[in-house]
Amino acid sequence: MKKISIIIPCHNEEDSVTRFFDTAASIVNVKEFSYEFIFIDDGSNDTTWSKILNLDVNSKSGISVKGIKLTKNFGKEAAIHTGLSESSGVTAITIDCDLQHPVEMIPKLIETWQQNNINIVHCIRTNRPKESFLKKIVTNIYYKILNAATGMDLRHYTDFKLIDRNVIDTYINLPEQSRFYKGLISWTGYSSINMDFDVEERC
């Protein structure tokens, strides 16, 4: 059976790890694919790691869990890269642990990928999460500069994506030391489709 990897970067996510896993494990279709959940503990200083170790995996057929504990907090980009490097699925879905990316969309992403014969499904936010006025201004300036420099308009793009094995292998073999996942995945030029979603409140 073909495998799908779910990559979840976690920094101080003790309140959401279990809920994330139980929700996701209950909605994925294990008849068609098997699933490996890869949780990357990115230098948490709460009980995230023990929550990962205690996930109730045994009762869930077709699902396995891999936990990776980084030695310190390297940042989300490094955590995603680590997870993708350790993945063995035909495709991978990168998704936040704090439930701001709707877990319920995972089956829809897989269906969209299968039906459209494409390499990437980008999840595009239709709203912005609640954030301060200052953060809004800084974010606006950042995306304007990025757009001017690269020609890519990534303002509504997120790290919530499905990427197939061609894209995973291309991405993990790029020589960049400093990575920008959502920019580089778009830059690879592989065929893609966009799916809208509403950002949830942080768990």
> Binding residues for Mg ion, per CB under 5 A?
98, 100, 202
Between 39 and 113, CB nearer to Mg ion: 39
Residues 6 or more apart in contact with residue 144 via CB below 8 angstroms:
none
Using CB under 6 A as the binding rule, the residues of this chain from 58 to 117 that contact ligand UDP are 73, 75-76, 79, 96-98, 100
For residue 63, CA distances in Å to 14, 51, 182 come to 21, 17, 27
Choose the contact partner of 123 out of ligand UDP, Mg ion, none; CB within 5 to 8 A by kind.
Answer: none
Q: What is the dihedral of CA 94, 201, 122, 5, to 10 degrees?
A: 20
Between 100 and 192, CB nearer to Mg ion: 100
Choose the contact partner of 128 out of Mg ion, ligand UDP, none; CB within 5 to 8 A by kind.
Answer: none
Between 147 and 202, CB nearer to Mg ion: 202
Using CB under 6 A as the binding rule, the residues of this chain from 163 to 182 that contact ligand UDP are none
What is d(CA 182, CA 9) in angstroms, rounded to the nearest whole number?
A: 14
- Rounded to 5 degrees, φ, ψ at 79 are -65, -45
Choose the contact partner of 10 out of ligand UDP, Mg ion, none; CB within 5 to 8 A by kind.
Answer: ligand UDP
Exposure b/e, 144-154, CB count within 10 A at least 16 = b: eebeeeeeeeb
CA 146 to chain centre: 22
Answer yes or no whether residue 23 interacts with ligand UDP by CB under 6 A.
no
Choose the contact partner of 67 out of ligand UDP, Mg ion, none; CB within 5 to 8 A by kind.
Answer: none
